Amino acid sequence: AHAFPAALVAALREARHVVLLSGAGVSAESGVPTFRDAMTGLWSRFDPAELATPEAFERDPELVWGWYEWRRMRALQAQPNPAHLAIAGMSDHLPQLTLVTQNVDDLHERAGSDTVIHLHGSLHQPRCATCGRSHAFPDEMPNEPEGGRRLPPPRCTRCRGLIRPGVVWFGESLPEGAFYQAQEAAENCDLLISVGTSSLVYPAAGLPHLAKAHGSQLIQINPQPTNLDGHATWNVVGAAGQILPALVA
Ligand code: BJW
Ligand code: ZN
């Protein structure tokens, strides 16, 4: 069993409002590749600047669409892991939990978390790049696209524009309502738990600092060092799928 500092356990027990900020590391144990981890990181094989920008989609929509279809398929095949399940269970033990995720999969929802703030959008909600109309995927699974295989994006039924992934690319604003709610929660929580994120991508990486500036304590759960280490009240070193279930037990 994992031994946690008594003060950490007390902070969790006494918290009135907890914000849980999740990143790609929470889905890693479901087999969804993270962005920046060596070897398995998605971007050890693909240059992020090449694919996760509006410019890349303009330049090469088939490459970008193919990459996202491949990732959507991986996400559809993945199952929630013990970290997602522990997070879903936490709301039963806490007066208030606000779940904020940077992840574009729907594994929190499938684990039973019913309110999830998606800061970086979703692989499952594409829309027209020209007029914004949302696009429904057909029910069947996408064809087996290999990573890097080109695939032409569908066309909008209203304006014939290209359908784009419903995610937030570098240089794009976060969904306004989602970021506002996350900020509001960070300002009002007494404990923020940052799990499985490298804390490199802003403005999401600013949320723990905002919470701390408003008097919150910070728990970080990550097997690797991050930029947040020096700021967290407690750094718990380990995998989310092991630490979180132990924490809520
Ligand atoms: C485990 C584990 C296990 C492994 N258990 N843990 C301030 C300063 C500098 C730059 C900027 C700034 N403000 C804004 C910027 C620019 C930019 C930015 O932040 N750049 C930085 C990289 C420097 N930000 C933006 O452009 C944002 N927009 C914006 O600011 O709009 C205003 C604006 C408009 C116009 C001009 C300028 C500003 C938008 C950011 C959108 C991010 N989008 C992405 C891609 C989404 C689509 C897709 O999926 O392809 O979101 S980037 C990518 O990174 C993705 C993720 O959500 C995000 C965060 O990654 P995450 O989750 O932290 O994953 P990793 O892989 O980095 O880390 C995994 C972690 O898990 C590691 O720590 C592991 O150790 C750990 N781990 N196994 C627990 N089992
Ligand atoms: Zn359109």
User: In the predicted model, what is the mean pLDDT of residues 212-222?
Assistant: 98
Mapping DSSP to helix (H, G, I), strand (E, B) and coil, where does residue 18 land?
Answer: strand
Exposed / middle / buried, residue 194 (Cβ in 10 Å: 0-12, 13-18, 19+): buried
User: Which residue, by CA, sits nearest to atom 23 of ligand 1?
Assistant: 201
Q: Which of 84, 108, 118, 120 is catalytic?
A: 120
User: Which residue, by CA, sits nearest to atom 54 of ligand 1?
Assistant: 201
Same domain, 13 and 97: yes
Question: Measured from the CB, is residue 201 less than 6 Å from ligand 1?
Answer: yes
Percent of the chain, pLDDT > 90?
A: 82
Same domain, 89 and 195: yes
Q: Are 198 and 11 in contact (CB under 8 A)?
A: no
Same domain, 99 and 180: yes
For the stretch 6-40, what's the b/e string if a residue is b when 16 or more beta carbons lie within 10 angstroms of its beta carbon?
A: eebeebbeebebbbbbbbbbbbbbbebbbbbbeee
Q: How far is the CA of 157 from the centre of ligand 1 (A)?
A: 32
- Please give the Cα distance from 150 to 146 (Å, whole number): 9
- Please give the Cα distance from 216 to 231 (Å, whole number): 12
Q: Which tens digit of pLDDT belongs to each residue from 69-95?
A: 988 998 999 999 999 999 999 999 999
pLDDT over 80 (residue 44): no
Same domain, 56 and 137: yes
Q: Where are the beta strands (DSSP E) in 106-180?
A: 116-118, 121-128, 163-167
- Other CB atoms within a 10 A radius of the CB of residue 139 amount to 5
- Residue 38's pLDDT is 60
CATH of residue 60 = 3.30.1600.10
Closest to 165 in 3D by CA, of 204, 122, 201: 122
- Please give the Cα distance from 192 to 15 (Å, whole number): 10
Mean pLDDT for all residues in the chain: 92
Ligand of minimum distance to the alpha carbon of 225: 1
Number of domain units in the chain? 2
**Poorest-pLDDT segment among 52-66, 102-116, 196-210:** 52-66
Q: Are 11 and 191 in contact (CB under 8 A)?
A: yes
Q: Which tens digit of pLDDT belongs to each residue from 152-171?
A: 999 999 999 999 999 999 99
User: In the predicted model, what is the mean pLDDT of residues 162-190?
Assistant: 97
Q: Give the rounded distance of the alpha carbon of 186 from its chain centre.
A: 16
Mapping DSSP to helix (H, G, I), strand (E, B) and coil, where does residue 162 land?
Answer: strand
Q: Which atom of ligand 1 is nearest to the CA of 173?
A: 31
- Residue 214's pLDDT is 98
- Residue 33's pLDDT is 85
Mapping DSSP to helix (H, G, I), strand (E, B) and coil, where does residue 87 land?
Answer: helix
Last residue of a domain, one of 132, 149, 167: 167
Q: How far is the CA of 158 from the centre of ligand 2 (A)?
A: 5
Last residue of a domain, one of 108, 134, 167: 167
Ligand of minimum distance to the alpha carbon of 159: 2
Indicate the DSSP class of residue 46.
S
> Would you call 120 a catalytic residue per the annotation?
yes
Same domain, 188 and 70: no
Please give the residue range of the domain that contains residue 5.
1-30+80-120+173-249
In sequence order, what are the residues at sequence separation of 6 or more whose Cβ sits closer than 8 angstroms to the Cβ of residue 117? Answer: 98, 99, 100, 101, 178, 181, 182, 185
Same domain, 190 and 246: yes
pLDDT over 80 (residue 148): no
Distances (CA, A) of 227 to 15, 80, 221, 235: 25, 27, 13, 11
User: In the predicted model, what is the mean pLDDT of residues 227-235?
Assistant: 98
Same domain, 39 and 155: yes
Q: Which two tokens stand for residue 151?
A: 């695939």
- Kindly indicate the confidence band of residue 218, based on its pLDDT and cuts at 50, 70 and 90: very high
Give the ipTM.
0.95
Question: Measured from the CB, is residue 222 less than 6 Å from ligand 1?
Answer: yes
